[in-house]
Amino acid sequence: MRPPAIALADASAAYDGRPVLRGIDLTIRAGERLALMGRSGAGKSTLIGLIHAQAPERIALVPQGAALVRQLSVFHNVYMGRLDRTSTIHNLRNLVWPASADWAEVARVLARVGLAEAIRAKAGALSGGQQQRVSVARALYNGQPILLADEPVSALDRAQGAAVLAEMARTHETLVLALHDIALALAHTDRIVVLDMGRIVLDAPARDLDAAALAPFYEPAA
């Protein structure tokens, strides 16, 4: 059995004194492809935050919403994925005159998400779906072994979303994805964890589930 990449034991979280997560026991092993699912407000984004806090140095993060610097180019937004690995002088130089090697590497990553032609565009001029793909490209460029993503394909159609999820899986050892799309979760992950009212209510292999088994967790709470 592969070693744990992330382990949470009886974890909890609260905002303004209101419990959001309670009694979370979750072990994610290296090489797993895990989908976090559940209706809006179930606690998925909060759990993403707890997971990230366990090992930020080994995680590439796609936050909910693109979280881009709208005034900067697509190149610069993707390049930010590795700012901590190069000198301040190099980073400042790249802000004005990008190094050819960095430009070429960012262009290759953007091609993986279908945005090579947008490398010079201002991030704020892109559509919502394009901005989401830039955010994914930044995480791919970051290159850490664990990719943690909060609704990374919510602004894409199913075909585009499937292509992007496949790219994530191609180069990252471990994936943890908060997803709403049941079909994409079943097709692109091997384990599904469902949250409801701040607790894990289902944790099962994707091969043992189908859309009918997951649909009740997306119906309005009684």
61, two tokens: 């993060």
Other Cβ atoms less than 10 A from the Cβ of 216: the count is 10
pLDDT of residue 138: 97
What residue ranges of the chain have pLDDT lower than 50?
none
Q: Which domain does 75 fall in, by range?
A: 4-218
Number of domains comprising the chain: 1
pLDDT of residue 221: 55
pLDDT of residue 2: 77
Other Cβ atoms less than 10 A from the Cβ of 13: the count is 16
Quick check: 217 and 202 in contact, CB under 8 A?
A: yes
Pairing mode, strands 18-29 and 33-37: unpaired
Q: How many helices (H) and strands (E) does the chain have?
A: 8, 8
CATH code for the domain of 108: 3.40.50.300
Quick check: 79 and 98 in contact, CB under 8 A?
A: yes
For residue 15, the cross-strand partners are 18
Global pTM value: 0.93
CA distance 35 to 185: 6
Quick check: 105 and 22 in contact, CB under 8 A?
A: no
93, two tokens: 């130089």
